[in-house]
Structures are given as C-alpha cells and as structure tokens.
Amino acid sequence: MTRDGAAAKIGLVHLGPGAFFRAFNAVYTDEAMAKAGGDWGILAVSLRSALARDELKAQGCAYTSVTLAPEGRQARVIGSVSDVLVAPEDPEAVIAAMADPDVHIVSLTITEKGYCHNPATGRMNADHPDIAHDLAALDAPRSAPGFIVAALARRKDAGLRPFTVLSCDNLPSNGALARGVVTEFARRVDADLALWIEDHGRFPATMVDRITPATTEADIDALEDAAGYRDPACVVHEPFRQWVIEDDFAGPRPAWEMAGAQMVASVEAHELMKLRCLNGTHSTLAYLGYLAGYETIAETTADADFARLCERLWADEIVPTLTPPEGEDLPAYCAALLDRYRNREIRHRTWQIAMDGSQKLPQRILGTIRDNLAAGRVPEGLCLAVAAWMRYVGGVDEHGKAIDVRDPLADTLRAASAGADGAGDKVGALLAQREVFDAALADDARFREAVTSAFERLETQGARASVAEYVR
C-alpha cells in the first residue's frame, strides 16, 4: 500500500511507535484532523528498533487499522503519521524535531520500563544505565527522559514555550510520573531549567484503553486477502476504545474530543478504575492462565472458573477500593470487560501480557492489595495472582518446561526463586525484591501468609485447581 495524498504538517512528536500507538493515538489524531482540521501530523520516533521505520516509510507512513469485531474484520487506512525517525541513528535530528516551534506536544507510549524509574517509589532511577549515559552525554541521549530534557533545554534557550508531555502508558498518575522523572533529570543538568519546566511545563494525565494484540503474519495475510494489498505495518485491535485526558496543555492540541476522547479536569478516578479493573484482572489471567496452559485471554475466560475468578475479584476485592468515576457504572463496566475478554477474534496471548511483570505488578495489583489490607480485608484472589506471578518468574511451568520470562529483572527474580527452598523461602526471597515490593507490604504478615498459602497450592494442585478452589 502507499499513502494517498500529502502527509500532514508535523505538530506532534510521539515516542514509541508500536502497535498500541498505531491502534490508538494515531487513530484518534487521524479522526480529529478529518473532523476539525489542524496541522497535527505525527513524527513517530523509535527509541530502539528500526522496524517501525522500515515498515512505515516504505508505504509513505500510511498503514491499516483493523478492528477485530465478533461480526468480522473492518479495515481503515490511517494517515496521521507523517514521518518516522530511529533515535539511535540520529539523536540530533530527534532533538531538533522536538525543539521545533511548530511542535506542541510530545506524547509517549514507551511502556513502564521506558520511564527509567523505580516502580516501587515512582522516582527516577539515577543508576539506570540510560539515565547515567544521558546525564553524561545529553547531546546524544538514549532514554525518553533524556530526549525530552535535551529538547526542552533547547526550547528554553531559544525563548520558546515548552511542549506538553503527554504520557499515554498504563501507569497510575502517569502525568505526575512523567513530570517527576523529567524534572528530576533536568535538576541534575541545570537547576534553572528544572524550575522553568516546573513553572511552564504541562504533563497532563491520561487513561487509555484498547486491547491490541500483537499483529501476526496471519493478520497481514487476512488483510491482503480482503483488501487486495499487503501492509506489514498494519495493526489489529478490539472495537472498544476509551481515552480520558486531563485538559491541561502548554499550547494548542488536536480536537481529540471530536473523535470521542473525554477531556476532563481530573483523570484519577477513571485511571484507577481501568488500572485495577482491567489491567489488574488482565495480569491475573495472564499468569494463572499461562500456568494453566491457556494461550490467550479468550481461551482462559472460556473456562467458567476463570470467568468467575474475574467476577469475584471485581465484586469482592477491586470495586470496593474504588470511587466511581463520573458517568461510569462500575458493575456494568466490569461486565463489559468480561465480554471484551471473551472476544475470540482478539488473540491476546497470556505470555504477551505477562511481560515486564515486575514493572506492572505495583501499579496493577499491589495498590489494590494495600487498600484491602488497610480496610481489614485479606484479598485472597489478588494474593493468588501475586503467587502466580512468583511461580511464573521462577521460569519453569507446571510440566517442568522452561518459561521464556521477558522482564527487566528476569535474571534476578529467577535467581532469587532458585536459591530458596520451599514455598515460604521462595515467597520471602521474592518479597525481598524492593524494586517490586515496598517493605511495609512485604512485611505485612497477612499478605505474606496469604501469598505463601497460594504459592503452596499452585505448587501442589496447579493453577486450574487453585482457581476453582478460590471461586467455589
């Protein structure tokens, strides 16, 4: 396929042009420009791989968004991406683009680990190798915080206002996290720069939601059969989408509300609802489902006990910790989630969702556990989810086969598990990992006992039986 017509003038730089960005941010922006106009072409920047550039540039940066609806596939060409850069090939070009006065927003989908922070504290990890490199060589950064600070410094020197930094990752208070990491990095570079960012910069929080499984060769072949062209950059996703954005920008922005985005004064309640109801049960299903031998979320929730697991978690352990967001019916929201999980057109692999668990667990599950414990409740189901994560990162499944654990702490976690004997020692060794568990939670006897008991059941009975025991 090729682009039909000229690309839009660039007004937005996006770091992390993966499948989710192409199925979500770029789609909203494409629709917003179609309905309200504006120069909001996107310069997509890959901080690592050249794959997205190689796929997109070959077809003028246009690509196909494929909705996987129960009634069939629906394809639409997206043209909002105007150009793609690979940061390691030319970091100066990326900094210059972000410093361009026509660029008003730098958005991010870089996953939890891209913020180079400590998930347990939310603070920048000054010992992160990319952060250490960037502090020493800010003219050729590697990390997202490094590029943002380098570009903001250039804008300040040029007398320009800062761009808005728009985090679109599944992290609690993602705007505050981005602000904290960026300003802490800037403070180590130039105290006046940090003050300028604090005074004039904007870091709105967002809540994003659209299940986007990895595109397969079969998806590409199916699109070619249906549309008559081959698009290796195509993305597949569920019909549902939701984007809630704190309306606090340093300058102009696309009319995303014309494409259905919710512009609000505070995202916090929506964000917590999504992180705990969707992401928390998604991760729970990923670890327990993988251990039970299920490849996808749809297969996992086709098992009545696993569907009931979600319902029990929502009713007994998750929803009681939430304040309903304005306009949301929490029981109806959860029922719709289960319908989304059961969509067999979405092949969202349990192994894929299980990636980077050490980064995800604190946000998706541990906060909910803390709130339950503070209310005098021991959340047995969520403790079972933590125990399943511990079994998973041990690197061996229930049949003795190796698990390909993809996690920044994979080697550390595997060594901690392997170096301990018995369920109690293994649980203790993993609870001692301060990058994941804070001391107060790890030392809570109720939590430790519940996780140890669940871990023992997983070892002796397996995941399916453990889930069945919890829901009955």
Q: For residue 162, how many C-alpha atoms fall within 13 Å in the half-sphere facing its CB?
A: 24
Find the range with the poorest average confidence among 91-105, 117-131, 294-308.
Answer: 117-131
Percent of the chain with pLDDT over 90: 93
Q: What is the pLDDT of residues 219-259, one digit of tens each?
A: 999 999 999 999 999 999 999 999 999 999 999 999 999 99
Prediction pTM value: 0.82
Rounding to the nearest 10 degrees, give the CA dihedral for residues 79, 81, 82, 84.
-140
pLDDT band at 1 (very low <50, low <70, confident <90, very high): confident
Q: What is the pLDDT of residues 59-111, one digit of tens each?
A: 999 999 999 998 899 999 999 999 999 999 999 999 999 999 999 999 999 99
Q: What is the pLDDT of residues 26-66, one digit of tens each?
A: 999 999 999 999 999 999 999 999 999 999 999 999 999 99
> Is residue 281 scored above 80 in pLDDT?
yes
Please report, as a single letter, which amino acid is at residue 278: L
Rounding to the nearest 10 degrees, give the CA dihedral for residues 464, 467, 469, 472.
-120
Question: What token pair was written down for 258?
Answer: 């014309």
Mean residue pLDDT across the chain: 96
pLDDT attached to residue 408: 93
- The 3 state secondary structure assigned to 363-379 is HHHHHHHHHHHHCCCCC
Query: DSSP E strands: which ranges in 235-285?
Result: 235-237, 242-246, 262-264
pLDDT attached to residue 64: 98
More confident residue, 4 or 456: 456
- Residue carrying structure tokens 């043209």: 79
Which residues in 119-144 are b (16+ Cβ under 10 Å) and which e? Answer: bbebebbeebebbeebbeebebbbbb
How far CA 229 is from CA of 56, 63, 216, 274, in Å, comes to 14, 11, 16, 36
Check if the beta carbon of residue 165 is closer than 8 Å to that of residue 136: no
How far CA 445 is from CA of 22, 280, 373, 458, in Å, comes to 44, 22, 11, 20
